[in-house]
């Protein structure tokens, strides 16, 4: 009998498992790094054990420390969550050797799928369609483009698309280094790259007595950097080709049977528009996107994981899929700047009137509610987004009877969310959900390559939001008798305030007179406080909610949400940087330096590589020139804004 479970993970993953564990009457144990000490999941656990350090390699990837933490806290079971050690056979064996219950598949099954190279051979032997594997040494020009993939792990890490043979060696080296850092295994291989496939996967659940469920399929084709952004169940492609579903389910069950699988897992396929599909990999764990399957079946997949681990029987058949569910991954990143991760404080996190993950899921077989919203989140107001881990803040899931209605509702919820502080991909997600191609079910892996990343917030919206911010600031500084900010007896120049959004500075000019607001354009001030400004814009009344956090002001309205950084009127000369300076866009570790002082470089040429949030980021030359200074070396930790190098016209 399990009485206490340690979750060998962090953030929203740990919170999700904790909720089901508590519902089952189990006590919970968290592990946390130094950077995660104040994260919500730590306080929610009944007991918590610190793993000293920050980097995954010294904390969440240390199997010995996690097993010891379970012993110290009195846990009798370990749930791995997803990511980190969840697909590490040696960790599973260490848990079992310690006399603890492993809430996961058999060690041999993990080993079988732990190497994507060996997994493809097993699947081919079991009759599952596969794409031919290429060893890096045998790739020829006729094979291009190819995809370099890490043999261990997943989540888009250790993956590179190569279109030129001359780039292959360098990309293999980069992919191997990234895989080694993320998974502790730098083995990579190549396969033919299909630029516009459909990513379709099947949820598997199997017990110890030979019953294997194919619990519906999911489509996860919209991806960036080979990592999923939008997931849904059922798949629009499979819905369009009804004969595809039985073949998919049969292939998934064959894959599970071939390795004696037990527990929750996912068999992933790459499909084309005609319904042909090929095995990609099998994830021997719960998936990030499992909520869309839960919402359309009424199952609690985590509860089933506990039941299967305890030796219970599954019913002969899974419940049917009812309705439609869409999940979007809310990341702390900037899609317009090559998906650059964002770090810092999340001052406010409010997404709709959502229920928390794992609650109010209908019993197996019952129809899910006709409309609803679910948020699986690892953060809350005041949380710090660190550079050490994946930048996902939350998964926002909407479900209902109709795909189009679900997409519309989810887009509306995202648009009204209050996300203050660190930048997010919220606008991109809402744009995807409203895009005609998405609504038509045309969602292949080349979605962003074909359609871009959306227009962003309109410049006119930014300017009127900046005006609202300035007026709210002025209202907050008025004296008790409500003398307008900047009031003069006779008309004078406009008051001016400047804000930065990204790299663009917006200067706002306005004057408050006895006759009202004087400003460029047809705008009338109706009311203002330090937190709320009401304007009439071109004859339409608009309300703007304003929240100030030091030098950052966040403005939310029906027109869109804007984050404005105050530009100070006077700058400290000591803080100014030389022209051509390359600065760190986030805290991280310099993993490689590709140039020396005096080297001639061209605009866009990679100069050095920074590792942050488990991904490798390229820092390129901003202009043609000569490397005048190098201020960092490989292995060095840097803070956001640190000058890394200077490129000038001459040395």
List strands edge to edge, sheet with 4-7.
47-51, 27-33, 4-7, 77-79, 101-102
Name the residue with tokens 């700047």. 337
Burial group, residue 44, by CB count within 10 angstroms (0-12, 13-18, 19+) = middle
> 498: how many CB neighbours lie within 10 A of its CB?
17
Angle at 425 between CA 424 and CA 429, to 5 degrees: 145
Angle at 330 between CA 324 and CA 336, to 5 degrees: 120
Q: CB neighbours of 472 closer than 8 A, spacing ≥ 6?
A: 528, 529, 530, 531, 532, 533, 544, 546, 548, 553
Name the residue with tokens 């058999």. 106
Cα(406)–Cα(440) distance, rounded to whole angstroms?
A: 13
Based on C-alpha coordinates, what's the Rg of the chain?
Answer: 26
Cα(266)–Cα(215) distance, rounded to whole angstroms?
A: 10
Q: E strands of 193-283, at which residues? A: 198-206, 212-224, 227-233, 263-271, 277-283
Nearest to 107 by CA among 92, 96, 126: 92
8 A C-beta contact, residue 275 and residue 140: no
Cα(178)–Cα(227) distance, rounded to whole angstroms?
A: 14
Active site members? 285
Q: Which residues of 513-552 are buried (b: 16+ CB within 10 A; e: fewer)?
A: eeeebebeeebebeebebeebbbebeeeebebebbbeeeb
Tokens of 22: 């508590």
Task: Report the relative pairing of strands 643-648 and 581-583 from DSSP bridges.
Answer: antiparallel
8 A C-beta contact, residue 546 and residue 530: yes
8 A C-beta contact, residue 200 and residue 228: no
Query: Three-state DSSP class for 510?
Result: strand
8 A C-beta contact, residue 159 and residue 149: yes
Angle at 344 between CA 156 and CA 80, to 5 degrees: 45
Q: According to DSSP H, which parts of 24-142 are helical?
A: 40-44, 63-73, 89-97, 107-114, 116-125
Cα(412)–Cα(422) distance, rounded to whole angstroms?
A: 21
Tokens of 168: 């292959």
8 A C-beta contact, residue 266 and residue 253: no
Cα(247)–Cα(235) distance, rounded to whole angstroms?
A: 14
Name the residue with tokens 């929610």. 44
Q: E strands of 8-66, at which residues? A: 27-33, 47-51
Q: Which residues of 403-430 are buried (b: 16+ CB within 10 A; e: fewer)?
A: beebbbbbbebbbebbbbbbbbbbbbbb
Phi (first) and psi of residue 10, to 5 degrees: -145, 175
């Amino acid at each position: 009998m399990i009485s206490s479970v340690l979750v060998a993970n962090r953030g929203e993953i740990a919170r999700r498992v904790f909720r089901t564990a508590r519902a089952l009457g189990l006590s919970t144990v968290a592990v946390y790094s130094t950077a995660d000490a104040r994260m919500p999941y730590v306080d929610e656990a009944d007991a918590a054990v610190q793993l000293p350090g920050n980097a995954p390699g010294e904390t969440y990837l240390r199997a010995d420390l996690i097993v010891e933490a379970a012993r110290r806290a009195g846990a009798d079971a370990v749930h791995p969550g997803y990511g980190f050690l969840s697909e590490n056979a040696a960790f599973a064996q260490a848990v079992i050797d310690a006399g603890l219950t492993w809430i996961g598949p058999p060690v041999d099954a993990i080993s079988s799928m732990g190497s994507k190279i060996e997994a493809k051979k097993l699947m081919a032997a079991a009759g599952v369609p596969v794409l031919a594997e290429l060893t890096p040494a045998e790739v020829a020009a006729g094979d291009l483009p190819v995809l370099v993939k890490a043999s261990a792990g997943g989540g888009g890490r250790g993956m590179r698309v190569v279109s030129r043979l001359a780039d292959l060696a360098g990309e293999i080296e980069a992919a191997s280094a990234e895989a080694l850092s993320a998974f502790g295994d730098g083995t990579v291989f190549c396969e033919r790259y299909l630029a516009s496939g459909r990513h379709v996967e099947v949820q598997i659940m199997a017990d110890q007595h030979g019953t294997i469920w194919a619990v519906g399929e999911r489509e996860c084709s919209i991806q960036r950097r080979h990592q999923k952004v939008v997931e849904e169940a059922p798949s629009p492609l499979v819905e369009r080709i009804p004969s595809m579903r039985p073949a998919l389910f049969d292939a998934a069950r064959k894959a599970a049977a071939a390795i004696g699988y037990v527990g929750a897992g996912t068999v992933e396929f790459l499909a084309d528009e005609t319904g042909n599909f090929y095995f990609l990999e099998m994830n021997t764990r719960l998936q990030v996107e499992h909520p869309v399957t839960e919402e359309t079946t009424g199952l609690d997949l985590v509860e089933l994981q506990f039941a299967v681990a305890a030796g219970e029987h599954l019913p002969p058949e899974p419940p049917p899929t009812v309705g439609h569910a869409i999940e979007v991954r809310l990341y702390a990143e900037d899609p317009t700047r090559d998906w650059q991760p964002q770090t810092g404080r999340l001052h406010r996190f409010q997404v709709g009137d959502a229920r928390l993950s794992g609650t109010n899921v209908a019993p197996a077989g019952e129809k899910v509610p006709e409309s609803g919203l679910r948020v699986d989140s690892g953060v809350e107001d005041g949380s710090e987004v660190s550079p050490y881990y994946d930048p996902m803040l939350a998964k926002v899931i909407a479900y209902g009877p109709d795909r189009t209605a679900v997409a519309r509702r989810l887009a509306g919820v995202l648009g009204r969310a209050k996300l203050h502080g660190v930048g997010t991909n919220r606008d991109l997600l809402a744009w995807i959900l409203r895009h005609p191609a998405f609504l038509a079910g045309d969602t292949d892996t080349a979605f962003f390559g074909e359609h871009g990343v959306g227009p962003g917030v309109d410049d006119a919206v930014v300017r009127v939001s900046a005006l609202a911010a300035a007026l709210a600031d002025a209202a907050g500084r008025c004296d008790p008798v409500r003398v307008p900010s900047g009031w003069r007896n006779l008309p004078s120049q406009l008051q001016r305030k400047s804000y930065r959004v990204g790299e663009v500075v917006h200067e706002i000019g306005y004057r408050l007179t006895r006759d009202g607001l004087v400003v460029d354009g047809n705008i009338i001030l109706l009311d203002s406080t330090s937190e709320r400004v009401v304007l009439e814009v071109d004859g339409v009344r608009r309300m703007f909610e304003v929240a100030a956090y030091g030098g950052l002001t966040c403005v939310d309205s029906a027109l869109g949400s804007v984050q404005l950084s105050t530009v100070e009127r006077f700058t400290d000369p000591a803080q100014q940087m030389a022209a051509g300076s390359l600065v760190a866009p986030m805290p991280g570790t310099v993993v490689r330096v590709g140039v020396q002082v005096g080297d001639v470089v061209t605009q866009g040429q990679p100069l050095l590589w920074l590792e942050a949030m488990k991904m490798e980021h390229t820092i390129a030359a901003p202009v043609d020139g000569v490397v005048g200074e190098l201020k960092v070396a490989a292995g060095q930790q840097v803070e956001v804004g640190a000058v890394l190098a200077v490129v000038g016209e001459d040395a």
